[in-house]
Structure 1
């Protein structure tokens, strides 16, 4: 294992993270079949999500993509309220903050979400699923098929 990571992680929510050196991680992989299997499944799921997100970004309207992204965050949230700024959302979707504001206004006008300074609240999850593209369901099903732990919505 190379001692330097080729990437970095950015947390979108408060939480706990653990760290170990590449050497220790490599030793754990060598000694644990279940860890290798879990990592393989996770990697396959992550790659499927990356590929689907790339196709989604190229093919679907921003309102559908924003709905998908909010649903994915909601799946992992402990509450209907998600603490994120419009700038955070814009960065994740690769658009300007003003564009997120415009599209958010559309979703808010349909009573799907409510927004405030630094937060978004999911009001109508079923409606948000209908407003999203089919990529949300595909990504969720991939994780189920790989038997990965499923995040639970509040």
Structure 2
């Protein structure tokens, strides 16, 4: 269940932080702060998109669910992005399941208000179109990555992209979550993370997975991580941290 939270600076979301002051001022009165618990389904396939979300430290995945119940991730949204408007501009209906993978805070605005602002404010519309291109690029690369890259490389990509979106080195990730997102067996993820742990790249514990050697993870990740990150940095400057080094 989504709940209200104590008001904070909505510009913790980097899309909102990148807006011109006048554009941000036009949106700010209509933004509300919410908590997004892990596992919350924001939208199921075909649901009307009533709100646009701007994650702060939460992470939302867009997954496609098959008839047999299996699912695979098509895109992931964190503090660099906005959720619930880019993928369905015409129908305004969800094209997949939007589910909260990492709990945290977010800002949100009614989708109707967001559409009005995009239609009437050229600078905001320009930023939105740049964000849309970055997100579409991410989705296409994710599809290709799922098809051609091995599980270890994809797992490293997922760990790195999550590390970019939170302010700590210990990521609240489980083997079950990683397996679901990558569309593989839990035992496969366990084998991969054990190898990464043995190599000194990560540590595993009750609190999740801790990044120990980020540079090492980057060397073992597939090319998709760097390509997605460069796309966001080009289209939406400041959407990623200035440095890829570990943070504690």
TM-score by structure 2 length?
0.57
Gap change, CA 1:96 and 1:109, over 3 Å in 2: same
Is 1:31 aligned with 2:75?
no
Distance 2:109 2:165 in 1: 24
Distance 2:217 2:109 in 1: 38
Query: Deviation digits for residues 75-101 of structure 1, max 9, x if unmatched?
Result: 112011101211111111111222111
Residue in 1 that maps onto 2:48: 4
TM-score by structure 1 length?
0.89
Q: Which has the higher helix share?
A: 1
Match of residue 158, structure 2, among 69, 86, 89: 69
1:41, 1:148 within 8 Å by CA — same for their partners in 2?
A: no
Distance 2:106 2:131 in 1: 17
Give the drift of 1:144. 1.4
In structure 2, runs of 5+ residues without a counterpart are 1-46, 50-92
1:68, 1:133 within 8 Å by CA — same for their partners in 2?
A: yes
Distance 1:12 1:53 in 2: 17
Distance 2:144 2:120 in 1: 37
Q: Which has the higher strand share?
A: 2
Residue in 1 that maps onto 2:202: 113
Residue in 1 that maps onto 2:175: 86
Runs of 4+ off more than 3 Å: none
2:102, 2:172 within 8 Å by CA — same for their partners in 1?
A: yes
SS at match of 1:19: strand
Residue in 1 that maps onto 2:77: none
RMSD over aligned CA atoms reads 1.8
In structure 1, runs of 5+ residues without a counterpart are none
Is 1:42 aligned with 2:86?
no
Gap change, CA 1:87 and 1:118, over 3 Å in 2: farther
